[in-house]
Structure formats: structure tokens, C-alpha cells
Structure 1
Amino acid sequence: MNKYKETFGVDISKDVFDVYGTLSGHNQYKNDESGFVKFLKELPDTALVVMEATGYYHYRLAQFLYKNKIVVSVVNPLSIKRFIQMKLAKVKTDKSDAKSICDYALINAVPIYNALTDVQSECLQLFRLLDVYLKHRTATKNKLHGEETLGIPSRYVYRSLKRNKKHLDKEISAIELKLLSLIKQEQQEQLTLLRTVPGIGQKTALFLIVITDGFSKFEHAAQLCSYVGITPTIRESGSSVKGRSRISKVGNRKLRNLLFLCSFNACKHNKACRELYERIVNKGKSKKVALIAVANKLIKQCFAIAKSGRAYDETYVSVLLK
């Protein structure tokens, strides 16, 4: 039974957000401070407000409501999409989406939102910017290589690309230093512990701490593995459909890529990961499958160490992961 007096589904966009309440029906508000305040005044006691994770747009409203002691839930947009498809809905508008989010919350257990601290918020913004700059730098490097293969590259183009790469190198280094200083303010001990895991680099350790809120957002390592998107999915039906097992990829792509890169180093220096890799390859599985299993193992090791508060130890960590 729903313990809230009224449940609200929110479909939010750049300029407005549509709201559908179980008792009050549909309303629309401006996506700014005045709209937030107006919506807050109309909320009853013990209300639940549910919205999709829509990047930048949902964040301000979720933070505002949380700080005003309103129970908020931010759900995966893919879950809402699948729910709407299941209903075979023929109409798709902001109003109908708000109602669908409300309906979803009434029949499903939705996660309760916990606001980010100022440090966590800044770290996430820095990681997004870092990701953008890294992609730009890779594109610049590729362009430089392309110009060089011409044999007679334009001096102006070549120098411009060199200046751009130099600028990006400088910005990337500055962001990484800022991230490190912010994490050290609140999670220095945890950062030090994670760095003891063979194969886990500083960037991956920083990212793990930021997106897991110091591993407090997850109760079990399996939940974190699912969030990252490296848990296997199985496609089998009757006797005719025997699909290959694949990773779900429904999760944090950036962290998944970082952990996959870490798995190469872990296979050399992390005893448990090396043994796992060799065991899977010896069974005839592909090296990629083995590396994904190693990435999964790394997550479990990091989770165990973060929760126990003890540095990595080859003999102790195996006990933690049982």
C-alpha cells in the first residue's frame, strides 16, 4: 500500500515541467526558481515526487525539493520507456509522460533520492567536463595524424591543431588536480585504500568514489556491478533461441570503460584477477570475456576494501568476496 498521501509524476524539459498527481491531475510549471516555489506550495504533506534522470534538467528540481524536505525519487529513464511500451500507449506528450511516471511509481518500488553535497556535485561536473576534453583531445590527435599522413600538411592547420592539443593537455591536467584535491577533502582514506588494489589507477579510484558517494549508495557489490553494466545477460527461449551471453551495458559507460582498461593491468599484477583470467581463457572462452570478468572482479575487490576499511591483501580479500 502506498504510504504517501499523493504521488506526483514529473516530466521535465528545458523551459517547463509537467506534473501529474494522483489526486490533483495535470499541472505545468516553469523550469526555474519561481516554478519550483509554486510547485512546492501546492504539494501536500507526505507527498512523493518521481522524475526521470534527464541529465541537467532534473537535477535542480530534485535538489530544491530535497532541501525542502520533500521525498523525491529519480528513476532510470529506460525503466519508464519500457513501462510505456508495455502499456502499448499510442499518445506521447509531456502530459502523458508525466502520468506514466506517476503510474510507474504507484506499482513499482522506486529509489529515494539523496541530494549530493557541494563537493560531490562539483566532482561530477568536473568528470563530465573531463570526459568532453578527453574526447576532443583524441579527435585532435587523430586529425594531427591524418594531416601528417598527407605528406604536405598545411602549416597553419598543423600549428593550430598543436596549439589546441597543448591547451587541452593543460586543461585536462588542471581538472585532474582539482578532482584530486576535492576528493582528498572528504575521502582521502578511501582513495588511499582503493589505490592499494593492483590494477586500479588514480582516475578510476576517483571516479568510483564520486559516483558511489564513497560506496554508500550500494549495499552489495552485485548492485554496483549492475550499475556499471558489466553483469551478463542471457538470451534463451525454448530450443531454437540460444543467444550468446553478453554484458548488459545498461549502466555507467564511462566507469565501465575505465574498469575494462584497468583489467589489462590487473591481469599482470593482481593475483586473483590473473588466476581468473587464465582460468576462463583455458576453458576456451575469448580474451574479451575474460577481461570483462576481471573488471567485475575488480569492482568486487574495491567494494570489499571500501566497506572493510582495510588495505588490499591477496589472502584476505578472497575471504571478503565469498
Structure 2
Amino acid sequence: MAMNTQAIQIGIDVAKEELVIYRQDLDQVDSLPNTLPSIRRWLKTLPEHAALAVEATGTYHMPLTEQAHRAGHSVFVIDGYQLKHYRESVRARAKTDPCDARLLARYLAREGDDLRAWTPPPKAYRTLQSLLRRRSKLIQARVALQQSLGQEPSLKAPLKRLVAQINRIDQLIQKRMHQAVRQAGLTEQVARCEAVEGIGPLSACALVMAFLRGDFRNSDAFVAFLGLDVRVRDSGKQVQRRRLSKRGDPEIRRLLHNAAMAARRHPYWANVYQRYRDRGLKTTQALVILARKLARIAFALMKNQTTYQEKAKQACGTT
């Protein structure tokens, strides 16, 4: 849903403790505590159907976006990476909270017709996303501890006990994920994804979670949401190196990369992988292509509610 051009446009810079708000119609900057009571009181002062541009900040912006959406306003969550480059493009000389609030309102006014309003994700999406992100932090901590302390002989025994405890927490998180899948009635969707070579339980949950977030027109849109689409920057005869957009959830991309490495051990995918290597692609490039193909197949299975079959391997589509 595009922005209503007649709506009052508001830019909001979000921090853990405070919201800095710029109302374009009043050319006025205010601030309020980032708490539910203050947010609700402030929303009651707004005209109906206002348009709010909010910078994505982990979880600190969520109370505001949820309450504003519930109050009938259009909320546009702006990626910090996009805002940074927009700031540079308009040659903003300062970066302060009020400046960012003004910049968000300006971005909304100029680009609003091409933005999609935020909508609340399903409960299962939030639960799975939270669990996946917490597991990611847990695994990162485990790896860091093993690398840092593993070479110290006097610490090997306590490190082993600590890693065992971390592994038990990991198992509890995965158990909670499976419970969330069952409670949301997504068991069949996860099974569809798991049937594809290389896609394990965690990767399947991540793909189902991503599929829940939007009504994707096709697999290209799904791949772009995952951040696995290729960014092209060519000019004249100059062809620059292709890079991934990486705009999606990094944990999903990591799991899909692992899935691609696992799929490479199966005969069919080993042949696909080797063909790309023979064309001169590097290992990581070939694995990214495999990950993208796995994502496309999973999307088709979930979209069409079908079971993975041998012929689906031949229908990977373009990379």
C-alpha cells in the first residue's frame, strides 16, 4: 500500500529511551519517552491517517510501529542503510536525532509513492525470528569461546562443561521452535522444505518463517526478501563486480549457505555445483547460486502446497 499524498508526514528517530519526532506540517521537533503510555498519549494528538517514517532499530521501534498501525496510521519502516545513503545523497551536513527525524520526513515525502506500508507480521513469524536470532547469538558465543579458550590446557575441562551447557540451551531453543511450528499449523510446510536435499530442520523453519512475512508474487521477490538477489552496477563499458543485496535477515542467509554446502554432497547438486566451478566461479559464488536455487524450490513448494519430487530438481529456474 502506497502512502496517501494528503496525509500528514512525520519523521521519527528512535532510540532505546527516547523518540525524536518531526512533524512536517508544523515544522516542529518534539521528543517523548519511548514507552507505551507516552506513545499512546501522543498518537491520540495526531490527525487521522497520518504517515509515519520510522528508522528500523532492532526492536526499539516495534512498540511505536505496532501502536501507530493499531491507531489507523500508515507506518513506513526505513532501513538504516538506505537512510544513510539518502543522507549522503542530499549532502546533509549533520547527523543528530532531530536532523534524522527531519530526514525521515523528507525521505517519506519524496519517496513515499514507492514505499510499502508496514503491516504486523504473524505471531509465528515473530516467535521463530526471535528464537532464530537468539540461537545465532548463542552459537556465535560458543564459537568465540572455543576459539579463545580452546588452546589453554588449564581451561579445557571447564570449557568443555560450558560448551555442553550451551549445547543444552541450543537444544531447548530448537525444541521451542518445533513447538511454535506445530502450534501455528506449519508442520507440513516445514516438511515440504526439509524434503529438499541439504535443507535441514533449522533451514526449513527459517524458510517457512520468511514465507510467512509477505504475499510474494514470485520466487524473485522471495529471493530479494532473503537478500540473495544480485546487485548490478554497470556504467557504459564498465562492468562492476556483482554483489548480493544482503537486505534480508542475515541468519536466514547463513542457514541457506549451510544448506547449500550440505546439498553439494548429493550427486545431483554436486554436478550443478561443479558446472559453476568449471565456468570459473569461486566456491562461495557457486554456493550462493545453490542456496538461491534451494530457496526457489522451497518457495514453489510452499506457494503451490506441493510435495518435493524428482522433477523439481530440474525446475530450479534462473540463478
TM-score greater than 0.5 by the shorter chain: yes
Cα distance between partner residues in 2 of 1:258 and 1:270: 21
* Paired residues for 1:10-89 under 5 Å: 10-25=12-27, 26-89=29-92
Cα pair distance change 1:278/1:51, threshold 3 Å:
same
Report the number of matched residues. Answer: 312
Which AA in structure 2 matches 1:245? R
Cα pair distance change 1:35/1:199, threshold 3 Å:
same
Which AA in structure 2 matches 1:104? Y
Deviations 1:190-226 (A, max 9, x none): 111111111111101111222342x634322222222
Cα pair distance change 1:217/1:4, threshold 3 Å:
farther
Question: Which residue is equivalent to 2:7?
Answer: 5
Residue 98 (structure 1) aligned with residue 98 (structure 2): no
- The alignment's TM-score, normalised by the length of structure 2, stands at 0.89
Cα pair distance change 1:316/1:158, threshold 3 Å:
closer
Question: Which residue is equivalent to 2:261?
Answer: 264
Question: How far apart are 1:181 and its partner, in Å?
Answer: 0.7
Question: How far apart are 1:177 and its partner, in Å?
Answer: 0.3
Is residue 231–residue 247 contact of structure 1 (8 Å, CA) maintained in 2? yes
Cα pair distance change 1:72/1:201, threshold 3 Å:
same
Question: Which residue is equivalent to 2:218?
Answer: 220
Question: How far apart are 1:284 and its partner, in Å?
Answer: 2.7
Cα distance between partner residues in 1 of 2:226 and 2:74: 26
Identity across matched positions, percent: 25
Which AA in structure 2 matches 1:45? E
Cα distance between partner residues in 2 of 1:274 and 1:257: 20
- The alignment's TM-score, normalised by the length of structure 1, stands at 0.88
Cα distance between partner residues in 1 of 2:75 and 2:146: 43
Given candidates 286, 289, 292, the residue that maps to 2:285 is 289
Question: 5+ unaligned residues in a row in structure 1: which ranges?
Answer: 148-152
Question: How far apart are 1:141 and its partner, in Å?
Answer: 2.4
Which AA in structure 1 matches 2:133? R
Cα distance between partner residues in 2 of 1:201 and 1:57: 32
Cα distance between partner residues in 2 of 1:103 and 1:137: 43
Cα distance between partner residues in 2 of 1:17 and 1:221: 37
Cα distance between partner residues in 2 of 1:270 and 1:121: 36
Is residue 193–residue 306 contact of structure 1 (8 Å, CA) maintained in 2? yes
Given candidates 140, 143, 154, the residue that maps to 1:135 is 140
Query: 275-284 or 74-83, which moves further after superposition?
Result: 275-284
Cα distance between partner residues in 1 of 2:128 and 2:57: 18
Given candidates 177, 180, 183, the residue that maps to 1:182 is 180
Question: How far apart are 1:278 and its partner, in Å?
Answer: 2.9
Is residue 9–residue 51 contact of structure 1 (8 Å, CA) maintained in 2? yes
Is residue 20–residue 97 contact of structure 2 (8 Å, CA) maintained in 1? yes
Which AA in structure 1 matches 2:89? M
Cα distance between partner residues in 2 of 1:89 and 1:264: 44
Question: Which residue is equivalent to 2:196?
Answer: 197
Which AA in structure 2 matches 1:298? L
Question: Which residue is equivalent to 2:157?
Answer: 159
Given candidates 112, 117, 126, the residue that maps to 2:131 is 126
Is residue 304–residue 317 contact of structure 1 (8 Å, CA) maintained in 2? no
Q: Secondary structure at the match of 2:69?
A: helix
Query: 61-70 or 289-298, which moves further after superposition?
Result: 61-70
Cα distance between partner residues in 1 of 2:195 and 2:70: 37
Cα pair distance change 1:57/1:305, threshold 3 Å:
same
Q: Secondary structure at the match of 1:28?
A: strand
Cα distance between partner residues in 2 of 1:206 and 1:317: 21
Q: Secondary structure at the match of 2:61?
A: helix
